[in-house]
Structure 1
Amino acid sequence: MTDPTASFELLAGAADSPVLLHVPHSARTVPADVREGIVLDDAELERELDHITDAHTAEIAARAAALAGRRPWRFVNRLSRLVVDPERFPDDREEMLAVGMGAVYTRTTHRGELRPADTDPEPLLARYFRPYASAMAEAVAGRLAATGRAVVIDVHSYPAAPLPYELHGSGPRPPVCLGTDAFHTPPELTRAAREAFAGCGETGLDSPFAGTYVPLEFHGTDARVGALMVEIRRDTYMTEPGGPAGPGLERLAGALAALADGV
């Protein structure tokens, strides 16, 4: 298990489970030295955290792990994505750089200034991004070694109404959006997710968010690694923005547990 004082944590599941629930955007913590590079005042930062944080998704994953017949593994980011976003590419392959939201954000959800545009991302990439990516790759390798396959299920949420930073916000916004990858998301994984979340409202594909997260060491080359992104519309389980969870959380956790058991 990862050192609990680190910026991320690997929480062990059943030895024979191939499933890794990845929770990258649930935390609000911004270390004091990182806070110094952010231009927002305290109230503005809290409002931005309300909008950008996938609130309660770590709780959904934890509850799902407890409910599952075969406990999945969990990899949880303990710092806000305003520190670094571990699911971005740190170079110009990532389209979110166009709105100042690459691996190190310089713009807010409403396209205001978060950090100066000329901020050097390297110190944050070296301190947080690369260790996270390496540890996530090790976690996937561990599931491959133990079970012969790995299934990365990203646990995210998104607002009921699009935010200005969204590049593809004009499409459908179903209660559950499944992000897929042509190489890493086999039809049976998508089918299992649709069945598991059938009781949570309409389930859509790749809108408003598409794709999956797979560590670069395996991306596009190792078909033993399956991947699916589960994006949950926030009004189905919490008060927006940044408010408390409601009864929908337990239903979603049960669905996520069923998915973990079904793959």
Structure 2
Amino acid sequence: MSPGPSPFQLLPGAAGSPVLLHVPHSSRVVPEHVRDGIVLDDEALAAELDHITDSHTADLAARASAACAVTPWRFVNGLSRLVVDPERFPDEREEMLAAGMGAVYTRTTHRERLRPPGADPEPLLDRYFHPYARAMTAAVDERLAATGRAVVIDVHSYPATALPYELHGGGPRPPVCLGTDGFHTPPGLLARAEEAFAEFGGTGLNSPFAGTYVPLKHYGTDRRVGALMIEVRRDLYMSEPGGPPGPGLDALATALAALADGLMDM
């Protein structure tokens, strides 16, 4: 089977920008060959996409990029996370697999069956997960070669009310959750984000979602790679669960642009 066009895009920014806005979960696209392996009917699949998709986050990153004085780079997943979730790592697979949320999901946000028992994840990993990881690694390497550093800003959203699949959904759900890594999130990066998003009613740290994305090649070894996850609570900018964006999207884009520009002098 031909691999077809790339399901992800690296959208160029300014040559001197180290910032890479990473948007992994914004798409609702499920190719037909993947759809054939999902047990939900069309109505149930549409409802699941409403819940699982970080709706409008690609638009958020695009608006922020356009508002920046120095255009950041963007890496955008063109497929739904129901195809593969490119942000799963070996050190969290055991916990997430228990919830049916490994790199290839077997359960829905409401813990219902998504794929049949015994479905082989390897074809999807080979076709989508591993190429994505290689491309993100290359994108970070390019920023390191061009600027001597890279800053990955992971752009996500999350529902105002916890969904059943959330393993740590009982904690605070601030307007903006900042996910950090002890090695890759320096204090200055976190402080810039807290300042940029303060107007939305405050930020929280690693709740309800923790951590951030760094390619495994660089993870825990290369301090030139900074990383931070931005998780925006969806009621700030859209109608939940899968409705249209509202006026909050522009204000969030302005804040994200301020963060990206503020990282130029770090």
Give TM-score scaled by structure 1 length: 0.97
Distance in 2 (CA, whole Å) between partners of 1:211 and 1:94 is: 16
Which residue does the alignment assign to 2:256? 256
Residue type at the aligned position of 1:83: V
Unpaired segments ≥5 residues, structure 1: none
Distance in 1 (CA, whole Å) between partners of 2:11 and 2:235 is: 28
Residue 145 of structure 1 pairs with residue 125 of structure 2 = no
Residue type at the aligned position of 1:106: T
Residue 247 of structure 1 pairs with residue 241 of structure 2 = no
Matched pairs, number: 260
Aligned 8 A contact 1:8 1:132 in 2: yes
- Does the residue aligned with 1:79 lie in a helix, a strand or coil? coil
Deviates more, 1:85-94 or 1:136-145: 85-94
Which residue does the alignment assign to 2:205? 205
Which residue does the alignment assign to 1:66? 66
Distance in 2 (CA, whole Å) between partners of 1:73 and 1:133 is: 17
Distance in 2 (CA, whole Å) between partners of 1:5 and 1:99 is: 31
1:200-237 residue CA offsets vs partner (Å, 9 max, x unmatched): 22111000000010000000000000000000000000
Aligned 8 A contact 1:90 1:103 in 2: no
Aligned 8 A contact 1:88 1:94 in 2: no
Aligned 8 A contact 1:68 1:258 in 2: yes
1:171-182 equivalences in 2 (<5 Å): 171-182=171-182
- Does the residue aligned with 2:170 lie in a helix, a strand or coil? coil
Which residue does the alignment assign to 1:46? 46
Give TM-score scaled by structure 2 length: 0.96
Which residue does the alignment assign to 1:9? 9
Which residue does the alignment assign to 2:19? 19
Residue 135 of structure 1 pairs with residue 135 of structure 2 = yes
Aligned 8 A contact 1:200 1:251 in 2: no
Residue type at the aligned position of 2:85: D
Which residue does the alignment assign to 2:36? 36
1:159-192 residue CA offsets vs partner (Å, 9 max, x unmatched): 0000000000000000000000000000000000
Deviates more, 1:106-115 or 1:117-126: 117-126
- Does the residue aligned with 1:195 lie in a helix, a strand or coil? helix
Distance in 2 (CA, whole Å) between partners of 1:25 and 1:51 is: 11
1:86-127 residue CA offsets vs partner (Å, 9 max, x unmatched): 001268744211100000000000000000231111000000
- Does the residue aligned with 1:95 lie in a helix, a strand or coil? helix
CA gap 1:90/1:130 in 2 versus in 1, 3 angstroms: farther
4+ runs deviating over 2 angstroms: 89-94
Which residue does the alignment assign to 1:86? 86
Residue 107 of structure 1 pairs with residue 97 of structure 2 = no
Q: CA RMSD in A?
A: 1.1
